[in-house]
A and B are shown apart, each in its own frame.
Chain A
Amino acid sequence: ETGVTQTPRHLVMGMTNKKSLKCEQHLGHNAMYWYKQSAKKPLELMFVYNFKEQTENNSVPSRFSPECPNSSHLFLHLHTLQPEDSALYLCASSQDRADPGRAGELFFGEGSRLTVL
């Protein structure tokens, strides 16, 4: 138990569906992240939120729409996805860091395994 909970754990959707992934952290952290993990590729950073404000959008297609209503919750809204979007989507959180250029510890959830048919 890392203190970061993701739901659902598994999701199968068609290309015309709209679905959402949810992430909740119980660690009191101020930063939350969405990562995409595909086979044979490195973990790809998608979005970063600090104090509910989006600070990073790593050129993610608009069919992925993040929402961060507060520092404890993060959503990823999905619509008109493509089969190549099938992957494990990982949410993570971290504390604010006092030292620029030094990454703090990321606490990851267990991930949501997405399959797009």
Chain B
Amino acid sequence: TQLLEQSPQFLSIQEGENLTVYCNSSSVFSSLQWYRQEPGEGPVLLVTVVTGGEVKKLKRLTFQFGDARKDSSLHITAAQPGDTGLYLCAVTQGGSEKLVFGKGTKLTVNP
């Protein structure tokens, strides 16, 4: 059983469309991070959320942490080909500093 479930697993859309990807669990987390991994590169941190209900915006990306700190969503407005990549969520639990990653959502934005 995976600690984190990311959905959808794959997503292919046209440039200009909006999309939302999800990171869900039945466990409560101390903090949650979103990373983006472009083809041939390592993951790069996009955001860290720590407070239930928190919403953070990064240009066209909007991140939300669930009120109960068990889930998160990432919404992209007007997607661009440069948004193509693997979107990974990662969490810490309790007093642990160890990051646990989900399998990711592979996003392809077609021109």
State whether B31 touches A102 (Cβ < 8 A): yes
Which of A40, A42, A97, A110 is close to B97, meaning CB atoms less than 8 Å apart?
A97
Mask, B63-78, CB within 8 Å of A = 1, is 0000000000000000
Mask, B32-52, CB within 8 Å of A = 1, is 010100001111110010100
Give the A-B pair count, Cβ closer than 8 A: 67
State whether A105 touches B30 (Cβ < 8 A): no
State whether B97 touches A100 (Cβ < 8 A): yes
State whether A41 touches B103 (Cβ < 8 A): yes
State whether A92 touches B98 (Cβ < 8 A): no
Closest residue of A by beta carbon distance from B88: A43
Cα A38 to Cα B99 with chains together (Å): 17
Cα A102 to Cα B92 with chains together (Å): 7
> With A101-B94, A101-B95, A101-B96 known to touch, is A42 a contact of B42 (CB < 8 Å)?
no
> With A2-B44, A108-B44, A110-B42 known to touch, is A102 a contact of B50 (CB < 8 Å)?
yes
Cα A109 to Cα B40 with chains together (Å): 10
Cβ contacts under 8 Å, A40 to chain B: 103
Cβ contacts under 8 Å, B21 to chain A: none
State whether B31 touches A43 (Cβ < 8 A): no
Cβ contacts under 8 Å, A41 to chain B: 103
State whether A56 touches B98 (Cβ < 8 A): yes
Verify if B107 is at the interface (C-beta below 8 Å from A). no
Interface residues of A (CB under 8 A from B): 2, 4, 40-43, 45, 48, 56, 90, 92, 97, 100-111
Complex A-B: 24 CB contacts under 8 Å? A2-B42, A2-B44, A4-B42, A41-B103, A42-B4, A42-B100, A43-B101, A45-B99, A56-B98, A90-B43, A101-B30, A101-B94, A101-B95, A102-B30, A102-B92, A102-B97, A103-B97, A104-B97, A106-B43, A107-B45, A108-B42, A108-B44, A111-B41, A111-B42
* Sample of 16 further A-B pairs with CB below 8 A, known A45-B100, A105-B45, A110-B40: A2-B44, A41-B103, A42-B2, A42-B4, A43-B88, A43-B90, A101-B30, A101-B93, A101-B94, A102-B50, A102-B92, A102-B97, A103-B31, A106-B35, A106-B99, A107-B45
